Structure 1
Amino acid sequence: MKNVTLGTTDLTVSQHILGLMRITELSASEIRTLVGDAQAEGITFFDHADIYGSSGSPEHVCESLFADALNYTSAEREQMILQTKCGIRPGYFDFSAEHILDSVNGSLKALKTDYLDLLLLHRPDALVEPDEVASAFDQLHSEGKVRHFGVSNHTPGQIELLKRSVRQPLVVNQLQLSITHAPSITSGLAMNMAHAEQSVDRHNGVLDYCRLNDITVQAWSPFQSGATGGVFIGDRENYAELNDILDELAASYGVTPTAIAAAWITRHPARIQVVLGTTKGSRLREAAAGSEIELTRPEWYRLLVAGGALLP
């Protein structure tokens, strides 16, 4: 497993992340096995959120299941990078200082740890007061409860607004990205193509912005076909050509199509981390193998076009 430097920090972290959103369907033994499989592949980074759990369940469920199943020692905890997110509440978003502080305290209790390595603001709050966020971040940082901060699904302008008040560097932006859902990449390729829907930039140049500001991008739903679609790997009804190329490259590199799809993301020079939300050890191992593959430019672009992107 390759490692990357996280944003402007001195943290060296695994290029792949294990996302724990779906572990409510697993037993404690199965959670331990899944985490052990991840660690065996060199994955040391674990992604949570206060809202992760079954529909209608209370907050911090997946965090509690994770900590209860692992029952880690302080030494074992030090070997992990634990990241969680806050800001989504039933029916609205909330970046108030009160909610951020309450959420972090709930996460620390659920995860049975004294500190979080990273805290992300989950979805942009249209009513955000940057000074409130800054106040919460200052308190959490000074108390040693959160070591680093970032955001998820934020535009460059939203990040700049936060930075007006927040003193800690925002080192992560977690964004949806896959071969078939890559507007943060493909809109720039269609510049000046007024006739093409792809030329419309709905991401405000976020990928270039993150590279310019040393913000690590974390790709969520790396195998999903779109905002609401299913997995594109093996979907020959909608992505026959793409799957033909995935199969061809998988055979060439001696891996599975899942590894190639993950390698497509990590090939990008932004040094993107891949968030793997699987609960299956086999899929985890397949994806992790992609970290060791560096696709050529022709291979990368073949996949991009087969995924639906237009080249001039």
Structure 2
Amino acid sequence: MKTIKLGTSNLEVPVVAVGCMRINSLDKAGAERFIQTSLEEGANFFDHADIYGGGKCEEIFADAIHMSDAVREKIILQSKCGIRQGQFDFSKEHILSSVDKILQRLRTDYLDVLLLHRPDALVEPEEVAEAFDQLESAGKVRHFGVSNQNPNQIALLKKFVKQSIVANQLQLSITNANMISNGVNVNMENNSAINRDGSILDYCRLHDITIQPWSPFQFGFFEGVFLDNPKFPELNAKIDEVAKKYDVSNTTIAIAWLLRHPAKMQPVTGTMNIERIKDCIRASEITLTREEWYEIYRAAGNILP
């Protein structure tokens, strides 16, 4: 699989990350097969969060991959923290405690990447900086990033945090593409021109922060997938047409659409289906033309001024 540098780091990562949010839906044998298939396909970057399955997903993953020092050297682990029941928490105490528990569940001494999950309205960036320094000096976390944050939230962190912010995990798909659309419809009087995120796409490109699109097949906020969905006939017809040309599945084209963007994104999959993860990974072999990218964009109802 093709690789990219994660942010400004020297960490070389596959262009498709394997999301493990739903690994608790598999039995032990199924989880083992899924992870082994991912590794055989070159997808060795695994994305976790301490809230997935209440922490059980990280435990299931560690068991399924038969975690050992030899195995750990061959994989890249990312996890997220900061979401608690009824609140968000970026306090130093919570970050440090969360990472220790994540490492225990994953049966490893370190994370390659730690992301702060949903933004904490009560964040004190000085505390985040202290937590990051302590985690880095202890060798528990090698790289740091955020999730679902806008430019000024990141800038506030960067004022105090000395480590590079290497990634920002954001919701993005063909049908949820406002971060792209508001840049296309600048100064226009239509809904697509509404800037909901402070031009986070441009900010991340300017500051060499890798965008990791989550829910790359979803429309709305977990309302369902757009592929093969009768709500999106024009979009599916166009995706199927392009998929036929490249002799791949519609899943492959949906991921290839994200990878075609010059921001050099790293989509995070969510499927636990072996054939679908193969289709997602195959997208790294496809480069859509400019015309195909825009045709798919418009077919989703995204307008050009």
Residues of 1 paired with 2:200 and 2:15: CA distance? 20
Question: In the alignment, which of 187, 194, 199 is matched to residue 200 of structure 1?
Answer: 194
Question: In the alignment, which of 219, 232, 255 is matched to residue 262 of structure 1?
Answer: 255
Q: In the alignment, does 2:264 pair up with 1:271?
A: yes
Q: Which amino acid aligns with 2:217?
A: F
Residues of 1 paired with 2:175 and 2:20: CA distance? 23
Residues of 2 paired with 1:16 and 1:245: CA distance? 23
Residues of 1 paired with 2:8 and 2:283: CA distance? 25
Q: Which amino acid aligns with 2:289?
A: T
Q: In the alignment, does 2:100 pair up with 1:105?
A: yes
Task: Work out whether residues 9 and 166 of structure 2, in 8 Å CA contact, stay in contact via their aligned partners in 1.
Answer: yes
Q: Which amino acid aligns with 1:222?
A: P
Give the Å deviation of 1:228.
3.2
Q: Which amino acid aligns with 1:283?
A: R
Partner residue in 1 for 2:243: 250
Give the Å deviation of 1:286.
1.1
Q: Which amino acid aligns with 2:201?
A: L
Give the Å deviation of 1:69.
2.0
Q: Which amino acid aligns with 2:175?
A: T
Q: Could you report, residue by residue, the CA deviation over 1:164-210 in whole angstroms, capped at 9, with x for unpaired residues?
A: 1111101000001100000000011111212x011110011001100
Q: In the alignment, does 2:24 pair up with 1:33?
A: no
Q: Which amino acid aligns with 1:299?
A: E
Q: Could you report, residue by residue, the CA deviation over 1:120-140 in whole angstroms, capped at 9, with x for unpaired residues?
A: 000000000000000000000
Residues of 1 paired with 2:160 and 2:147: CA distance? 18
The 5-angstrom pairing of residues 1-312 of structure 1 reads 1-53=1-53, 59-194=54-189, 196-235=190-229, 237-312=230-305
Q: Which amino acid aligns with 2:220?
A: G
Q: Which amino acid aligns with 1:186?
A: S
Task: Work out whether residues 166 and 208 of structure 2, in 8 Å CA contact, stay in contact via their aligned partners in 1.
Answer: yes
Residues of 2 paired with 1:135 and 1:146: CA distance? 13
Find the residue that maps to 1:272 and give its secondary structure.
Answer: coil
- Higher mean C-alpha displacement, 21-30 vs 174-183: 21-30
Q: Could you report, residue by residue, the CA deviation over 1:50-82 in whole angstroms, capped at 9, with x for unpaired residues?
A: 0000xxxxx421111111222222121111110
Find the residue that maps to 1:119 and give its secondary structure.
Answer: strand
Q: Could you report, residue by residue, the CA deviation over 1:221-268 in whole angstroms, capped at 9, with x for unpaired residues?
A: 001122232110001x21111111111111100101110010000000
| Count of equivalent residues | 305
Q: Could you report, residue by residue, the CA deviation over 1:56-114 in whole angstroms, capped at 9, with x for unpaired residues?
A: xxx42111111122222212111111000000000000000000000000000000000
Give structure 1 stretches of 5+ with no counterpart. 54-58
Give the Å deviation of 1:24.
1.2
Find the residue that maps to 1:150 and give its secondary structure.
Answer: strand
Output the TM-score relative to the length of structure 2. 0.99
Q: Which amino acid aligns with 1:36?
A: Q
Find the residue that maps to 2:17 and give its secondary structure.
Answer: strand
Q: Which amino acid aligns with 1:12?
A: E
- Higher mean C-alpha displacement, 124-133 vs 30-39: 30-39
Q: RMSD of the TM alignment (CA)?
A: 0.8
Find the residue that maps to 1:276 and give its secondary structure.
Answer: coil
Sequence identity percentage:
54
Residues of 2 paired with 1:228 and 1:257: CA distance? 19
Find the residue that maps to 1:158 and give its secondary structure.
Answer: helix
Task: Work out whether residues 168 and 211 of structure 2, in 8 Å CA contact, stay in contact via their aligned partners in 1.
Answer: yes
